[in-house]
């Protein structure tokens, strides 16, 4: 393995967790999964975003940094790689969408204190899928609180990630996935594993299974 920490990102419903688990199994790597289902503010946020946005984003910030610190303390200098299904910078991306004015400034102060002490991934895998595909996946997994998600909100998230990818400084594989879930398709999983055998330069590299790139 050329990478000790690989993070997988993408919009809601892109298939991050499924792919992270499959890669962890195939590479005998540790899996670091975001504990989003434990967040009590998530269902409340989908009901009333303006009221619960700050509490949600601050709680996610604390939980994500806690997970990374616990993981680092447990693994130490182990040679086994880690695959995570989230990126710490995700906290800032979503805060920019969900918070305004003073709430965002307060959040940013907390983020800036925490971020420098956490590790950057050696490689970022970004799953890019069209909005209609995301909505299909969201409906298929059937989480009640996600049924309120609008296409407009998914578009805003997509745009935020696009802006982030334009200035990303670490190696990043952008996987264009218009069809199947990459974690559930053996051929696509093999294609991704083959891509991980290469040492990629910093910046974004767009790959498409349909084109073979």
CATH number at residue 153: 3.40.50.300
State the pTM of this model.
Answer: 0.92
Distances (CA, A) of 154 to 55, 63, 105, 146, 169: 20, 23, 23, 11, 25
Q: What is residue 179's predicted lDDT score, i.e. its pLDDT?
A: 55
pLDDT recorded at residue 181: 61
C-alpha to C-alpha distance for 88 and 119, rounded to whole angstroms: 9
In a domain, 213, yes or no: no
Total of domains in the chain: 1
* Residue 156 belongs to a domain: yes
- Asked, for residue 138, whether it belongs to a domain, the answer is yes
The DSSP-derived string for 116-171 is GGSPPPSEEEEEE--HHHHHHHHHHHT-GGGGG--HHHHHHHHHHHHHHHHT--SE
In this prediction, residue 42 carries a pLDDT of 93
Residue 123: inside a domain: yes
Please identify every stretch of the chain with a pLDDT value under 50, giving residue numbers as ranges: none
Domain hosting 16: range is: 5-207
Is position 212 within any domain? no
Is 192 domain-assigned? yes
- According to the model, what pLDDT value does residue 192 have? 92
Does the residue 151 lie in any domain? yes
Distance of CA 84 to the CA centre of its chain: 8
Q: How high is the pLDDT of residue 77?
A: 64
């Amino acid at each position: 393995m050329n990478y000790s920490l690989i993070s997988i990102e993408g919009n809601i419903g892109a298939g991050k967790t499924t792919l992270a688990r499959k890669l962890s199994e195939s590479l005998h790597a540790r899996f670091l999964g975001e504990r989003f289902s434990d967040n009590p503010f998530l269902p409340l946020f989908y009901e009333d975003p303006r009221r619960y946005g700050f509490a949600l984003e601050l709680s996610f910030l604390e939980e994500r940094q806690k997970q990374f610190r616990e993981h680092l303390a447990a693994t130490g200098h182990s040679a086994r790689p880690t695959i995570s299904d989230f990126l710490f910078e995700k906290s800032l991306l979503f805060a920019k969408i969900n918070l305004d004015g003073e709430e965002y400034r307060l959040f940013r102060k907390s983020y800036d204190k925490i971020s420098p002490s956490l590790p950057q991934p050696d490689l970022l895998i970004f799953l890019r899928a069209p909005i209609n595909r995301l909505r299909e996946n969201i409906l298929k997994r059937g989480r009640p609180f996600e049924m309120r998600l609008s296409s407009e909100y998914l578009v805003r998230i997509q745009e935020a990630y696009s802006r982030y990818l334009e200035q990303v400084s670490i190696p990043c594989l952008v996987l264009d996935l218009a069809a199947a879930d990459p974690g559930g398709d053996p051929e696509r999983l093999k294609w991704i594993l083959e891509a991980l055998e290469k040492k990629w330069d910093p910046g974004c590299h767009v790959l498409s299974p349909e084109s073979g790139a």
